[in-house]
Structure 1
Amino acid sequence: MPAVPSVPPVPPVSSPGPSAAVVSALRAAGCVFAEDEAELILATARTADELSSMVDRRAAGLPLEHVLGWAEFHGRRITVAPGVFVPRRRTEFLVDQALAAAPDAAVIVDLCCGSGALGAALAAALDGVEVHAADIDPAAVRCARRNLAPFGGRAHQGDLYDALPAGLRGRVGVLTANVPYVPTAEVALLPAEARDHEPLVALDGGADGLDVLRRVAAGAPDWLAPGGCLLSETGEHQAPAAVRAFTDAGLTARLAVSEERYAHVVVGVRPGPRAGAVPGR
């Protein structure tokens, strides 16, 4: 998004034509969907000062979701704080794949959880599940705790499986890991909203983008219940190598693709009869 030397002042919320003024300010800042963003900002701002501040922050390049304080994801509003990875709408496909693969899961773990959007979406769809999330970033963990609180979920800080309670080992029915998968050399090519306002640890996946995915896959069999599944998003060109990483870890792997969302999700299942389902599902 180009830098904007000055933003037109936004009139008070109660004055005539605030929508037009907000749209004009956002359009001048280079926001492609200025009308839609203006509608969301106007609906969220409680005072004229808050409206002006929100428009200024968006015009300065802050992601819209950080400006609003929430992101829409799988039919829910997910709290998103500044400096926390914003859940992408394409990742809703991963949630759908998890629900299809393990509709009776009793225990869910969301690794590299960011805001906890995946765990919250799955917990909302699967009543009565035990849900845990983990991230190495303390800001993400704080955010995830807020989003998982309505479901009695817990968020843990630490490096992948090191963050999890030992009692989860061998019990997890669904393990999601929206790992960083941008190759290091391509991080600089990301849109400024991601590059400048989201943590590097949530974006940079190493030389080929699969460093974290390989670690997650290698550890998954120890944590999954028999018949439990691991799901991770990856890029199109990385998908064959990602599937191999799952297979090398001893999982039965397949690739699920959504052309509409341009989403690629690797699904790996620990061999064995499925166990640990929530009674009645």
Structure 2
Amino acid sequence: MSVPSLDQSESAIVARLRAAGCVFAEEEAQMIMSAAGSPAELEDMVERRVVGLPLEHVVGYAEFCGLRIALDAEVFVPRRRTEALVQQAAALAPSRAVVVDLCCGSGALGVALAAALDEVELHAADVDPGAVRCARRNVVPAGGEVYEGDLFEPLPVGLKGRVDVLLSNVPYVPTVEIGLLPAEAREYEARVALDGGVDGLEVLRRVAAEASQWLAPGGVLLFETSERQADQAIAAVTGAGLLARVVTDDELDATVIVASRSDAEAAEAAGAAAAR
């Protein structure tokens, strides 16, 4: 009795994945086979993917902005469209930027931005303990710090008025629409990373309300939203006294809001900084 060849084994895995509805079965099979350390682990990983776990949770990492981001079970999987947010942030960041990644999940956004810039001071925070543990695996090797707590609450007070780039990929799915999400998201990602409240903008409003206290003169707040929520998101941000604009990326199907302090606030903060 001959041992199945690698090609035959891969073909069998591809067939199982395709039967389970995986559109990119060939690529997924290769990723799973590369990540498995033994035949038993391979079988376990294939079975977990077949029953619906996100591929990134199965293999333990996600590809984001050309980086491999470690990913633990239930932690939000960074989406490719969110690369547009990082691209906008990189274009706006000053040299030696102070970067804060709120609602950081795996820490992918902050790590990707740090990789695109030089001499970044990186901080990240999340309310979910599982996300914080995962983020530390990614952010600490990049030279950053990770804090556990609700939005700004766990950040060092010394960051107030110093943040050049505030990345806040807040949850923005309205509560009533959580059940409409793909099963991979609604069943296997932490709800706190998805649920944005009644209209999907509740967490954003809380971020916007405090953002001006943390932003440096010239600093920017960037977050992702859906195209249909963009006008409401702009209203939420301007209602908190910030200036805001929408940036769209058709290739990535992304809608990013870029916000900053008003000219008066920025001038006042610059004067206070000069007086210190």
TM range (shorter): over 0.9
Equivalent AA in structure 1 for residue 176 of structure 2: A
Moved more, 27-36 or 184-193: 27-36
Correspondences of 1:1-281 after superposition (within 5 Å): 15-270=6-261, 271=263, 272=266
Secondary structure at the aligned position of 1:26 is classed as helix
Equivalent AA in structure 2 for residue 266 of structure 1: I
Secondary structure at the aligned position of 2:153 is classed as helix
Bigger helix fraction: 2
Moved more, 133-142 or 264-273: 264-273
Give unmatched runs, 5+ long, in structure 2.
271-276
Distance change >3 Å, CA 13–CA 125, structure 1 → 2: farther
Secondary structure at the aligned position of 2:251 is classed as coil
Moved more, 40-49 or 252-261: 40-49
- Rounded Cα–Cα distance in structure 1 between residues aligned with 2:6 and 2:235: 59
Indicate conservation of the 8 Å contact 1:172/1:228, yes or no. yes
1:35-88 CA-partner distances (Å, limit 9, x unpaired): 111111112222211111110110011100000100000010001100100000
Question: What RMSD, in angstroms, separates the aligned Cα atoms of the two structures?
Answer: 1.7
Equivalent AA in structure 2 for residue 74 of structure 1: C
- Rounded Cα–Cα distance in structure 1 between residues aligned with 2:195 and 2:258: 22
- Rounded Cα–Cα distance in structure 2 between residues aligned with 1:165 and 1:39: 43
Indicate conservation of the 8 Å contact 1:120/1:151, yes or no. yes
Equivalent AA in structure 2 for residue 230 of structure 1: L
Normalised to the residue count of structure 1, the TM-score between the two structures is 0.90
Indicate conservation of the 8 Å contact 1:246/1:252, yes or no. yes
Using the TM superposition, give the Cα deviation of residue 14 of structure 1 relative to its aligned residue in structure 2, in angstroms: 6.0
Taking only the aligned residue pairs, the percentage that are identical comes to: 62
Distance change >3 Å, CA 226–CA 34, structure 1 → 2: same
Indicate conservation of the 8 Å contact 2:96/2:121, yes or no. no
- Rounded Cα–Cα distance in structure 2 between residues aligned with 1:218 and 1:105: 26
Using the TM superposition, give the Cα deviation of residue 15 of structure 1 relative to its aligned residue in structure 2, in angstroms: 4.7
Equivalent AA in structure 1 for residue 199 of structure 2: D
Distance change >3 Å, CA 22–CA 168, structure 1 → 2: same
Normalised to the residue count of structure 2, the TM-score between the two structures is 0.92
Equivalent AA in structure 1 for residue 124 of structure 2: A
Equivalent AA in structure 2 for residue 152 of structure 1: G
Distance change >3 Å, CA 137–CA 200, structure 1 → 2: same
Equivalent AA in structure 2 for residue 156 of structure 1: Y
Secondary structure at the aligned position of 1:181 is classed as coil
Number of matched pairs? 265
